Amino acid sequence: MMVKIKHKPFELNMYINGKWRGGETNPKRKVINPANGELIAEAVEGSVSDVKSAVQAARVAFDNGVWSDLSPEERAAYLFKVADRIDERHDELAALETMDNGKPLRESDYNISSAASCFRYYAGLVLAPHGKTYNVPDSVQAMVIREPIGVCGLIVPWNFPLMMSVWKIAPALAAGNTIVFKPSEVTPVTPTKLFKIFDEIGLPKGTANMVLGAGEIIGNEITVNHDVDMISFTGGTDTGRHIMKAASGNIKKISLELGGKSPNIIFADADFETALDYALYGIYYGSGQVCSAGSRILIEESIQDKFIARFVERANRIKVGPGNDPETEMGPLVNQEQLDKVLKYIEIGQKEGAELVCGGYRLTDHGYEKGFFIAPTAFIDTKPEMRIVQEEIFGPVAVFQTFKDEEEAVKLANDTRYGLAGSVFTQDAGKAMRVIKKIRAGITWVNSYHSAYIEAPWHGYKQSGIGFSLGVNGLDEFLETKQINFNLDVKPINWFSK
């Protein structure tokens, strides 16, 4: 049975200094359900002056210590409450996530649970001891303590609307910072619900601020504003490059989680059905709109015919449909722009001479024409220099490459500007370890794909990013390190003559 939430389109406002705020003069932005084109919400469009107010509120709150001076235990108590409220509203939030992003309910379910767990994890972690002491060759106690950075600007994309938000918000707040947050203009619904929870639990005024609107205006002002001490961004590599430059005015700390074109290497000695299953999951989970997607499937030549034939057979059977239908295995793309981009890449691949072996078209029957559905797609006969091999398509498009031996597999795997993720399928443990160690990527799997754990650091090499999300590293990202040298022998040193 389809899961439906009856509602009039929501009004989405900004949250600045503990108050909900509408926009100034701009028209409202329409937020659309990608499965059927229906209007879900109307979001106010923020302005530069809204960002300035939000930054000012965060600055005052930080400097007054209303949040940073709370004991870790007091801050943790707020964060545990947030986690509980997310759990209480799990079904509503999951349904809204599916409505806004399009992802199947089983994916939204996991994302919402994971958001609650992330708050709990960082609430707990902030209570753990941190800081160190050092033995130095003086009568001095040298030590470091960890302190919040100040005002953190947090900017996220649309592919995991609540989860990506929480990966930043939870550690930033746990560490004692105040925040100015911008969700994607495409998917602001569940992030706005999170700020409703902040409001309900009475988070101190100015601690968490949210501004809605376009990246080039709102995101840019957060990035250039000199009262923002740190920028933590998740999104495309080209936007990340722009942010790095724009953040240089006051030498902001920066943390960037960027794009990928990750290799999924399958050796002939792999468990065939497991490798096949994960190859499909690697690229078609989230309709391929996943930064770590296994979008390049590298297959050993001796099994390519059998493997690709079975892959195509299974890909053609994937149930594509609206995310709120429990039968659906793959949802629509997030919007028209993303659909156009993916279709354009399919055209480019064909022009470049690659062979399309499945999909490659938009689904338009049975009411699907109102949504942004695309069939699971795969290309063979590719060359490493092709754009479909090098560029992040961010859709359900698998690109097969073939290799003869370990050395060639590694060479092909590393042959892009990205270094986010990668995987190896083999039953030879030595080979698995040799290959995985040579892959220039921060998140890797052996005989698996896509698992991500709140406890473990998430991080890209090369042009896939700088800095960390999740785990202890994810909290460290939002902390300064202060050295304190405490003199234990208080007397003049007479360095200069009296």
Q: Residues in the site for ligand NDP, rule: CB under 6 A?
A: 155-159, 164, 182, 184-185, 214-216, 219-220, 223, 234-236, 239, 242-243, 257-260, 291, 392, 394, 420, 460, 465
Q: CB–CB of 153/32 below 8 Å?
A: no
β-strands 14-16, 10-12 pairing: unpaired
Q: Using the 8-state DSSP alphabet, how is residue 359 labeled?
A: -
Question: Nearer to ligand NDP by C-beta: 208 or 358?
Answer: 208
**DSSP secondary-structure letter at 330?**
B
Helical H segments across 206-271, by residue range: 220-224, 237-246
Q: Which is nearer to ligand NDP, 307 or 372 (CB)?
A: 372
Spatial distance between the Cα atoms of 372 and 470, rounded to a whole number of angstroms: 32
Per-residue 3-state assignment (H helix, E strand, C coil) for 160-214: CHHHHHHHHHHHHHHCCCEEEEECCCCCCHHHHHHHHHHHHHCCCCCCEEECCCC
Q: Is 308 helix (H, G, I), strand (E, B) or coil?
A: helix
Question: What single-letter amino acid sits at 31?
Answer: V
The DSSP letter of residue 157 is -
Residue number with CB closer to ligand NDP (67 or 461): 461
Catalytic residue among 257, 300, 392, 477: 257
Distance in Å, CB of 445 to ligand NDP, minimum: 15
* In the complex, minimum distance from the CB of residue 14 to ligand NDP, in angstroms, rounded to a whole number: 13
Instruction: Quickly tell me which residue has 């947030």 as its tokens.
Output: 82
- Quote the least distance from Cβ 91 to ligand NDP, whole Å: 24
Q: Which residue has the tokens 């998140």?
A: 443
Catalytic residue, candidates 45, 291, 300, 477: 291
Give the nearer residue to ligand NDP in terms of CB position, either 45 or 300: 45
Contact 81/182 with Cβ under 8 angstroms?
A: no
Query: Minimum distance between the CB of residue 256 and ligand NDP, rounded to whole angstroms?
Result: 8
**Closer by beta carbon to ligand NDP, 42 or else 84:** 42
- Report, in Å, the least distance between residue 440 CB and ligand NDP: 15
Laid out side by side, the sheet with 296-300 consists of 355-358, 377-380, 397-403, 296-300, 263-266, 421-425, 443-446
Q: Which is nearer to ligand NDP, 359 or 395 (CB)?
A: 395
Q: Are 21 and 15 in contact (CB under 8 A)?
A: yes
- 109 vs 221, beta carbon nearer ligand NDP: 221
Two tokens, residue 450:
């896509």
Q: Is residue 291 annotated as a catalytic residue, yes or no?
A: yes
**Secondary structure class of 390 (helix, strand, coil):** helix
**Minimum distance, C-beta of residue 156 to ligand NDP, in the bound complex (Å):** 6
Q: Rounded to the nearest whole angstrom, what is the least distance from the CB of residue 208 to ligand NDP in the complex? A: 17
Distance (Å, rounded) from C-alpha 179 to C-alpha 55?
8
Say if CB 449 and CB 428 are below 8 A apart.
no
Task: Clarify whether 24 is annotated catalytic.
Answer: no
Q: Catalytic site residues?
A: 257, 291
